[in-house]
């Protein structure tokens, strides 16, 4: 699966402890274990994440950026949803978990307007990181269906 590509691209210590993060967090998160989230390969560098026929985002792995999660939502909307999903977390910390795609990243392969700050998740206890990553994904899932209800269901169908 795509995890091998991530580990291969991270060889040489580009991201310390990435293997541990993949095993202890990513593989235990809903991004990996939820059967409703499908991985659609799009070449060797990324997979599109599809949730109930909607593009949730993508997981990207490049030589200079071994592991990146892009999400199909505006970061500020994700932050608002996280207020309810992670109420015990400091608001600035919540907001730092997901950010806009920066101008130098606009040409990165993959799909999504928001990027998950994996370094912040890697700094957490693994069980907290799984809970946090799951909350981020839940927020995007909710936003996709909220958008469908507002716009009649045509947006982002795969």
> Which pLDDT tens digit goes with each residue over 74-119?
999 999 999 999 999 999 999 999 999 887 776 777 889 999 999 9
What is the rounded distance in angstroms from the CA atom of residue 33 to the CA atom of residue 49?
A: 12
Residue 150 has pLDDT above 60, yes or no: no
The secondary element (H helix, E strand) that includes residue 100 is: strand 98-100
Tokens of 122: 């890697």
């Amino acid at each position: 699966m795509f995890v091998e590509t991530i580990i291969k691209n991270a060889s040489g210590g580009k991201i310390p402890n990435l293997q541990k993060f993949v095993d202890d967090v990513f593989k235990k998160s809903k991004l990996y274990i939820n059967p409703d989230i499908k991985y659609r390969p799009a070449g060797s560098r990324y997979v599109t994440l599809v949730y109930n026929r909607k593009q949730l985002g993508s997981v990207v792995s490049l030589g200079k950026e071994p592991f990146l999660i892009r999400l199909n939502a505006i970061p500020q909307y994700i932050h608002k949803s996280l207020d309810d999903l992670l109420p015990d977390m400091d608001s600035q910390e919540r907001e730092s978990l997901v950010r806009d795609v920066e101008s130098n990243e606009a040409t990165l392969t993959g799909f999504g307007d928001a990027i998950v700050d994996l370094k912040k998740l890697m700094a957490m206890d693994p069980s907290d990181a799984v809970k946090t990553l799951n909350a981020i994904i839940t927020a995007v899932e909710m936003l996709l269906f909220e958008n469908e209800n507002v716009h009649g269901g045509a947006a982002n169908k795969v």
